[in-house]
Amino acid sequence: MVATTLSPLAPASFPALPPIAGVRLGTIAAGVKYKDRPDVTFITFPEGTVVAGVFTRSLTPGAPILWCRDALKASGGRARALVVNAGNSNVFTGDEGYNASAETARAAARLVGCPAEDVLVSSTGVIGVPLPYEKIVGALPSVVLAEDRWEAAARGIMTTDTFAKGATATADLGGVTVTINGIAKGSGMIEPNMATMLAYVATDAAIGQAALDAILRDVNERSFNAITVDSDTSTSDTLLLFATGTAGNAPVADPASPALADFRAKLEAVMGDLARQVVRDGEGAQKFITVRVRGAEDHAAAKRVGKTIANSPLVKTAIAGEDANWGRIVAAVGKSYEKVDARRLTVTFGGQVLTENGRVRPGYDEDALTRHLKGQEIDIEVDLAVGQGEATVWTCDLTHGYIAINADYRS
Amino acid sequence: MVATTLSPLAPASFPALPPIAGVRLGTIAAGVKYKDRPDVTFITFPEGTVVAGVFTRSLTPGAPILWCRDALKASGGRARALVVNAGNSNVFTGDEGYNASAETARAAARLVGCPAEDVLVSSTGVIGVPLPYEKIVGALPSVVLAEDRWEAAARGIMTTDTFAKGATATADLGGVTVTINGIAKGSGMIEPNMATMLAYVATDAAIGQAALDAILRDVNERSFNAITVDSDTSTSDTLLLFATGTAGNAPVADPASPALADFRAKLEAVMGDLARQVVRDGEGAQKFITVRVRGAEDHAAAKRVGKTIANSPLVKTAIAGEDANWGRIVAAVGKSYEKVDARRLTVTFGGQVLTENGRVRPGYDEDALTRHLKGQEIDIEVDLAVGQGEATVWTCDLTHGYIAINADYRS
């Protein structure tokens, strides 16, 4: 792996994540692939914890994805533990790969004292190499677990990440204050057709499993599913939301309950923050780009146009070069094949409207646009002028750093 | 624009394109954008010439695309002239842009003595800048036309291309030898949802316009529509096939006529050659990559999987880095969302089968794979094991050169 320096878009520091009662975390250097760094993360949850998950839509998913789907089905959404290893994704590893995930879960289950299906597992790293699960199984009993080790857990799941990613919020749920903590990893192979590579969110709220699942899918659409780094959907994308129910609120079973309004908003804040941190750690990223699309036929069309702009190598390289080549945005809109009124299409770049009547707006301020492009936060808005659909997508620029990191990852 | 050196994948020399009777070509430095190089190409065709065209599917197409579609409709597929300018694409230029294309066509029509709708126009270059068409109109009368200036025409249409692209073949058509000549340009913003940016093919065969159109669309699917450089479909993609009918063969009106078999094969050779030259001039390309997909549900599914592999930044950067990271090919197959039997999926890289039973094949020769990757011609094959669909896609690697060229094009 190429030695990487801290992303220039990194937050100043890791936020202070408060304990969530009964959620205990720890890491250990098991030597799965990396030397001299923690590469196995172990998290346990109190009895009564429920979990909801969304996973990659890839049709060549990794063995941990298959295990998690099976486990969630078997347990009905109970969870007592999570084991994550970094350095090896356990993808395209055949029956032996599934067995490696199962053995990892069984080892954790023995330590916790629960059925294996109450244990979720994730793996991230190189594809196609057998996972030396014996190292994980052998290391798990030595992991020191504590409620105050969220940052260590965030570090333990990193691969090419240049900073650990965490977010936290509190919400009012029926008069009770509940906490939401989340950690995530991911910096390449990011086009969520569900999520970033790995993200784990836990709360002490008491929410029924079916409601938790509905809320997770809804919020995911506007957070992890609204980011892209390089259009490459991973085989391992996993997002899990755990609810321990220890906060003391009256349990909520209906996802549409008005009591959940603040919880939903704060969950979106936490998940959106984590998702944007993944973009800020995009491989080689020098600029953080927000793409807002309005006037589309519907939300899905707006999202597709936003993704097409955000994934265009020509748009991303122009921004990397601080080049006011807004015509590439118009070209990207066109190749989305979504309905647009080309004569009424409006492109706004850095807050400045650049177009009118299907052509450039005479007298637009190119110097102001150039100044905007020299900053780290780039804003693109397009109005397709055909409907009311809106969506926001976040991405980063495409730089020499991306090439350097990815042309020499496995070796 | 960044000064670029000749692509390492360039052919040794421009092929010798023989004259086609009555097809006269010339170029001139009109100063549309570039200084001191021919930037306007003018080609005239004899009376009786028919033309078929396919154009970008972009929903923000350039004014020349709108003009060509209108002209083909009005003329019923007659053609007497083609005018191409480089340096300005006349895209997103409003009503004035359409007028610029029309005025260019009218000026050529006056010189040739034909209706304006018998003149096709193309523009390539920067988006969103008004086209100074007066310069083109003013320069056209000074263009020196001759039948032996195919290479000059190929040079006149270049933008970021590092070499001129031409191809030629002869075919037997009902006992008469006919000639097929083609030129093309394009090196970035290449994902044919029809073609490369610009390609013009001419033949002296006598073929009815409807038959010509059917043949063009069929052959396009396996040539220009089977390449990708960077997934960015242009607003200006244009492919035109002119047939002068001067060769003396008995005119053919039925595209399914057995008499056309050799013509079709040779047309595919010429168009395929041009399309692959576009890939060989892909911005920053160091490796030419052939992706063959077999065992898909149908041809369309195979093509989509091939394009997904060919457009994956992670696959393209791994090859740029000569890194045997074949797991990224598996990941790309998965994110195509096309049906695959993941346990029977076969990945063949450099002629070596790497997988069996849903995992890596024990004992595969990594040294041989590394040697293959150090070459310029990279071969990837995947068998999805679910059907009989096949397709071949050509692309290039993603290198620092692509970033350098595109982060500083407009300025």
The angle, 0 to 180 degrees and rounded to 10, between the axes of the packed helices B261-280 and B209-221 is 50
Greatest alpha-carbon pair distance for chain B in Å reads 71
Q: What is the DSSP string of A204-259?
A: ---B-HHHHHHHHHHHHHTTGGGB-SSS---S--EEEEEE---S-PPPB--TT-GG
DSSP A87: E
B80 to chain A, closest Cα gap in Å = 30
Task: Provide, rounded to the nearest whole percent, the portion of chain A with pLDDT above 70.
Answer: 95
Amino acid at B8: P
The conformation of residue A5, written as its DSSP 8-state character, comes to P
Say which amino acid occupies B406: N
Q: How far apart are CA B251 and CA B254, in angstroms?
A: 10
- B26 pLDDT band, cuts 50/70/90, is very high
Closest chain B residue to A410 measured between Cα atoms?
Answer: B325
- Please report, as a single letter, which amino acid is at residue B389: G
Contact A331 B60 (CB under 8 A): yes
Q: Which chain B residues contact residue A94 at CB under 8 A?
A: 343, 357-359
Residue A89 with chain B: CB contacts under 8 Å:
327
Q: Residues 6 or more apart from B394 whose CB is under 8 A from it? A: B226, B227, B228, B275, B276, B279, B288, B289, B290, B291, B310
First to last CA, chain B: 7
Q: Of A318, A288, A317, give the one whose Cα is nearest residue A392.
A: A288
Per-residue confidence at B302, pLDDT binned at 50, 70, 90? Answer: very high
CB contact (8 A) between residue A127 and residue B411? no
Residue identified by tokens 């200006």 is B236
**pLDDT band at A46; cut points 50, 70, 90:** very high
CB–CB contact A323 B409 (8 Å): yes
d(CA B57, CA B217) in angstroms, rounded, equals: 13
Assign A348 a pLDDT band (cuts: 50, 70, 90): very high
**Token digits of residue A178:** 């509940």
Check residue A184 and give its pLDDT: 92
Looking at the predicted structure, is the pLDDT value of residue B288 above 90? yes
Rounded Cα distance, A329 and A410, in Å: 34
pLDDT number for residue A283: 84
Distance of alpha carbon B126 from the chain centroid? 18
What residues of A are annotated to the active site?
Answer: 196
Which residue in B179, B196, B395, B399 is the catalytic one?
A: B196
The backbone torsions φ and ψ at residue B258, rounded to the nearest 5 degrees and listed phi first, read -60, -25
Q: Is A2 on the interface with B (CB under 8 A)?
A: no
Q: Is the ipTM of this complex over 0.85?
A: no
Contacts of A193 in chain B (CB under 8 A): 335
Q: Pick from B60, B127, B343: which is nearest to A340 by CB?
A: B60
A398 close to B (CB below 8 A): yes
Report residue B5: phi and psi, to 5°.
Answer: -100, 165
Q: Is B285 on the interface with A (CB under 8 A)?
A: no
Q: Is the pLDDT of residue A234 over 80?
A: no
Reported as a pLDDT band with limits 50, 70 and 90, residue A411 is very low
Which residue is closest to B402 within chain A, CA to CA? A317
Q: Is A98 on the interface with B (CB under 8 A)?
A: no
Task: Say whether B411 and A323 touch across the interface (CB within 8 A).
Answer: yes
Contact A91 B330 (CB under 8 A): yes
8 A C-beta contact, residue A188 and residue A396: no
Q: Which B residues in the span 146-185 are in contact with A, Cβ-Cβ below 8 Å?
A: none
CA distance B306 to B308: 5
B44 contacts B27 by C-beta, under 8 angstroms:
no
Interval A160-184 mean pLDDT: 95
pLDDT of residue A284: 87
In this prediction, residue B213 carries a pLDDT of: 97
Tokens for B4, please give them. Answer: 């670029």
Nearest CA of chain A to the CA of B322: how many Å?
7
**Residue A69 touches chain B, beta carbons under 8 Å:** no
Q: Are B235 and B127 in contact (CB under 8 A)?
A: yes
Residue partners of A356: CB distance under 8 A and separation at least 6: A346
Nearest to A128 by CA among B120, B360, B271: B360
Q: B21 is written with which tokens? A: 């009777």
Residue of B188, B317, B335 lying closest to A233 (CB–CB): B335
pLDDT for res A410: 53
A323 and chain B in contact, CB less than 8 A:
yes
Q: Number of CB pairs < 8 Å for A and B? A: 240
Contacts of B324 in chain A (CB under 8 A): 410
Question: Which of A336, A338, A407 minimises the CB distance to B323?
Answer: A407
Per CB-CB distance under 8 Å, the chain A contacts of B55 are none
Residues A358, B188: C-beta atoms closer than 8 Å = no
Q: pLDDT confidence of B227, banded at 50, 70, 90?
A: confident
- In 3D space, the residue among A347, A306, A307, A356 whose CA is nearest the CA of residue A327 turns out to be A347
Tell me, yes or no, if A340 comes closer than 8 A to chain B by beta carbon: yes
Q: Which letter does DSSP use for residue A286 in this model?
A: -
pLDDT band of residue A231 (cuts 50, 70, 90) is low
Contacts of B249 (CB under 8 A, 6+ apart): B173, B174, B175, B176, B178, B205, B206
Closest to B321 (Cβ–Cβ): which among A336, A355, A408?
Answer: A408
Residue count of chain B, please give it. Answer: 411
Q: How far is A236 from chain B (nearest CA, A)?
A: 9
- Tens digit of each residue's pLDDT (9 = 90 or more) over A264-291: 999 999 999 999 999 999 888 999 999 9
A409 confidence band (pLDDT: 50, 70, 90): low
Cα(B287)–Cα(A74) distance, integer angstroms: 48
Which 3 state secondary structure label does DSSP give A149? coil
Span A75-101, mean pLDDT? 95
- Within an 8 Å CB–CB cutoff, is residue A4 touching chain B? no
Q: For chain A, report the end-to-end CA distance as a whole number of angstroms.
A: 7
Contacts with A56 from chain B: Cβ below 8 Å: 334
Q: Which residues contact B73 (CB under 8 A, 6 or more apart)?
A: none
Residue B408, pLDDT > 70, answer: no
Instruction: Look at A126 and B327 and tell me if their CB atoms are within 8 Å.
Output: yes
pLDDT at A237: 86
Q: What is the DSSP letter of A345?
A: -
- Element of type H or E holding A170: strand A165-173
**Which residue among B318, B340, B398 sits closest to A59, beta carbon to beta carbon?**
B340
Q: Is residue A197 within 8 Å of A189, Cβ to Cβ? A: yes
Q: Is A63 on the interface with B (CB under 8 A)?
A: no
Reference B63, options B104, B32, B31; nearest CA is B104
* Residues A377, A286 contacting (CB under 8 angstroms): no
Mean pLDDT of chain B: 92
Closest CA to B390 of B309, B308, B312, B292: B292
Whether chain B has a CB inside 8 Å of the CB on A312: the answer is: yes
* Predicted pLDDT of residue A125: 86
A358 in contact with B at a CB cutoff of 8 Å? Answer: yes
Contact of A335 with chain B, judged by CB distance below 8 Å, is answered with yes
Nearest CA to B201 out of B296, B146, B262, B275 is that of: B275
Q: How far apart are CA A361 and CA A372, in angstroms?
A: 18
Average pLDDT over chain A, rounded to an integer: 92
Task: Indicate the residue of A189, A334, A343 with minimum beta-carbon distance to B58.
Answer: A334
Least confident piece of the model among A296-305, B112-121, B181-190, B219-228: B181-190
* CB-CB under 8 Å, B235 with A334: yes
Those residues whose C-beta lies under 8 Å from the C-beta of residue A218, and which sit 6 or more positions away, are A255, A264
Residue A52 and residue A79: Cα distance in Å, rounded? 9
Q: Residue A313: which of B95, B230, B332 has the nearest Cβ? A: B230
| Least confident window among B19-28, B148-157, B232-241 | B232-241
Contact A230 B314 (CB under 8 A): yes
Q: Taking CB atoms and an 8 Å cutoff, what residues of chain A touch B360?
A: 92-93, 128-130
Beta bridge partners of B190: none
Structure confidence at residue B402 (pLDDT): 85
- Is residue A113 very low, low, confident or very high in pLDDT (cuts 50, 70, 90)? very high
Which residues of A are less than 8 Å from B374 in CB distance?
none
Q: How far is B97 from B307, CA to CA, in rounded Å?
A: 33
Lowest mean pLDDT segment, chosen from A382-396, B38-52, B397-411: B397-411
pLDDT level of residue B256 (50, 70, 90 thresholds): very high
A-interface mutation test, from B101, B335, B366, most A Cβ less than 10 A away: B335
- Judging contacts by C-beta atoms under 8 Å, the chain A residues touching residue B345 are 60
Enter the tokens of residue A77. Answer: 């959404």
Higher pLDDT, A164 or A231: A164
Residues of B in contact with A326 (CB under 8 A): 128
Q: Which of A245, A5, A28 is nearest to A144 (CA)?
A: A28
**Which residue out of A58, A92, A93, A323 would a mutagenesis test of the B interface target, given it has the greatest number of B Cβ atoms within 10 Å?**
A92
Q: Do A409 and B325 touch (CB under 8 A)?
A: yes
SS3 A336: coil
Can you give chain B as a three-state secondary structure string? CCCCCCCCCCCCCCCCCCCCCCCEEEEECCCCCCCCCCCEEEEECCCCCEEEEEECCCCCCCHHHHHHHHHHHHHCCECCEEEEEEEECCCCEHHHHHHHHHHHHHHHHHHHCCCHHHEEEEEEEECCCCCCHHHHHHHHHHCCCECCCHHHHHHHCCCCCCCCEEEEEEEEECCEEEEEEEEEECCCCCCCCCCCCEEEEEECCCECHHHHHHHHHHHHHCCHHHECCCCCCCCCCEEEEEECCCCCCCCECCCCCHHHHHHHHHHHHHHHHHHHHHHHCCCCCCCEEEEEEEEECCHHHHHHHHHHHHHCHHHHHHHHCCCCCCHHHHHHHHHCCCCCCCCCCEEEECCEECEECCEECCCCCHHHHHHHHHCCEEEEEEECCCCCEEEEEEEECCCHHHHHHHCCCCC
pLDDT band, very low/low/confident/very high, at A194 (cuts 50, 70, 90):
very low
B196 in active site: yes
What count of other Cβ atoms lies within 10 Å of the Cβ of residue A240? 23
Backbone φ, ψ for residue A142 (5° rounding): -90, -5
pLDDT tier at A1, thresholds 50, 70, 90: very low
Q: What kind and span of H or E run contains A122?
A: strand A119-126
Tokens of B102: 């029309």
Give pLDDT tens digits for B128-185.
899 999 999 999 999 999 999 999 999 999 988 899 999 999 999 999 999 999 999 9
Residues in A touching B355 (Cβ below 8 Å): 92
pLDDT-derived band at B193 (thresholds 50, 70, 90) equals very low
